Amino acid sequence: MTNKHFTIVGAGIAGLCLAKAFEMKGISYTLFERDEQVRGIGAGFGLASNAMKAFEILGYANEIVPLGHMLDDFEIQDWKEKTILKADTNRLRKNYNTDNFAIHRADLHRYLYQSIQPENIKTGHKIIDVQQNYDKVVLHFDQQPSIETDYLIACDGINSVIRQKLLKNSSPQYAGYICWRGVIKDPNYSSKKSIETWGPQGRFGLTPLVNNQIYWYACKNTPLNSAVYQWDLKDIKNNFNLYSGLIRSTLQKTKPEDLITTPIMDLKPLDSYVFNRILLIGDAAHATTPNMGQGACMAVEDVCVLMDELERYPTNIGIAFENFNKRRLKRTQYIIHTSRLAGKVAQFEHKILTSARNFALRTLPTSIAQSPLDDLLEQDFMSI
């Protein structure tokens, strides 16, 4: 496609997907990762139909499918297990002609990492600065020699050093709530339904994974770095002790060492993802709260659209980058805004507000209640 050399920074989902796509198309690249080991940190997440369509276009959806657990339904309940809303996952499935899956981050990470050539990945390279001129980009590392490259693609996540060197005021912003995550094994549990519970003590989600595993997450409003960030499993169990039996048993089966605690953050939408010879993709460009389950999905879409543009303009990477920018800005900005709003609504704690919210979502026509999903459901990300 092109004889230029690309440097990828960050071996997360976006970086590894891009590396695999480059290898499949014979594009020269090197991937730099700050950690000494490439590993997937986290629990489960969704690969909705749009992400599976992107994998299909990239050429390896059939290899991803066995790693995931197909989901037929997504339901929001109140803490007394009464349905508030059922998401129309069939619309998404029908639009992209693929199924919705849940997958363990470590499984996807492992597959992607093992499917690319190890000599193209350099670990233990912590980037500290980046510079560019009319024909090269220079990367500076903390303990390794600087390197030059033709083009740089930043996939270094929400705390991207590269983005913050380019845009000084692009630090992540706190969404107002903490999130705990974990994965358990329950041999008696078999389901294709994802459930999210909204209640006075916070939000709790349960999603089945392969091999009788359950991925769970719980969100609670609290100031950043409050005492709640020091809670252990006992505290979390006490907080959700009036929720469903499945929630209580899931927490009971969780091991303390498997508990992940993080603040929920996102990025204020950027005006551009391209900076001459540098391109931002994935969370480095458009990190979003997880309320629409689209963080990883947007990263895979990014790779798909970028590869499409590089194939169209193999000798003019600048135009390929600019076209990528035009195709991705509106869609990803919409996801950031809509996901943050969805989180605010889901995190209501005031009794009157929660009652009004639940009543409205139960009584509104489905087309109106789910209207925030329209841009995701109705648009083909490859034709935008």
Return the pLDDT at 350: 87
Helix, coil or strand: residue 304: helix
Is 160 part of a structural domain of the chain?
yes
Asked whether residue 229 is assigned to any structural domain, the reply reads no
| Residue 8 backbone dihedrals phi, psi, to 5 degrees | -105, 135
> What pLDDT, on a 0 to 100 scale, did the predictor assign at position 347?
95
Compute the half-sphere exposure of residue 255: CA atoms within 13 Å on the CB side of its CA.
6
Distance CA 342, CA 219 (A): 13
- What integer pLDDT is reported at residue 367 of this predicted model? 64
Asked if residue 335 belongs to a domain, the reply is: yes
Over its C-alpha atoms, the chain yields an Rg (Å, rounded) of: 21
Half-sphere exposure (CA, 13 Å, Cβ side) for 297?
Answer: 28
pLDDT, residue 351, reads: 85
Q: Look at residue 221 and tell me if it is in a domain.
A: no
pLDDT of residue 365: 77
Structural domain containing residue 151: 6-41+107-172+267-378
pLDDT of residue 92: 66
- pLDDT per residue, tens digit, the chain (384 aa), is 688 999 999 999 999 999 999 999 999 999 999 999 888 777 899 998 999 999 999 999 999 999 999 998 889 999 999 999 887 677 667 777 888 899 999 999 999 999 999 999 999 999 999 999 989 999 999 999 999 999 999 999 999 999 999 999 999 999 999 999 999 999 888 888 999 999 999 999 999 999 999 999 999 999 999 999 999 999 999 999 999 999 999 999 999 999 999 999 999 999 999 999 999 999 999 999 999 999 999 999 999 999 999 999 999 999 999 999 999 999 999 999 999 999 999 999 888 889 999 998 898 876 666 666 666 766 788 886
Task: Flag whether 154 is in a domain.
Answer: yes
According to the model, what pLDDT value does residue 372 have? 66
Number of structural domains the chain divides into: 1
Q: What is the distance between the alpha carbons of residues 139 and 130, in angstroms, rounded to a whole number?
A: 5
Alpha carbons 87 and 90: distance in angstroms, whole number = 9
Phi and psi torsions of 194, nearest 5°: -100, 135
Of residues 211, 178, 207, the one with CA closest to residue 193? 207
CATH code for the domain of 373 = 3.50.50.60
pLDDT at 72: 87
The pLDDT score that the predictor gives to residue 43 is 87
Residue 103's beta-bridge partner residues? 45
Q: Is 228 helix (H, G, I), strand (E, B) or coil?
A: helix
Contact 184/253 with Cβ under 8 angstroms? yes
The reply to whether 145 falls in a domain is yes
Task: Answer yes or no: is 338 within a domain.
Answer: yes
Asked whether residue 238 is assigned to any structural domain, the reply reads no
Q: Looking up tokens 């009036």, which residue turns up? A: 242
pLDDT of residue 42: 76
Structure tokens at 20: 């695999």
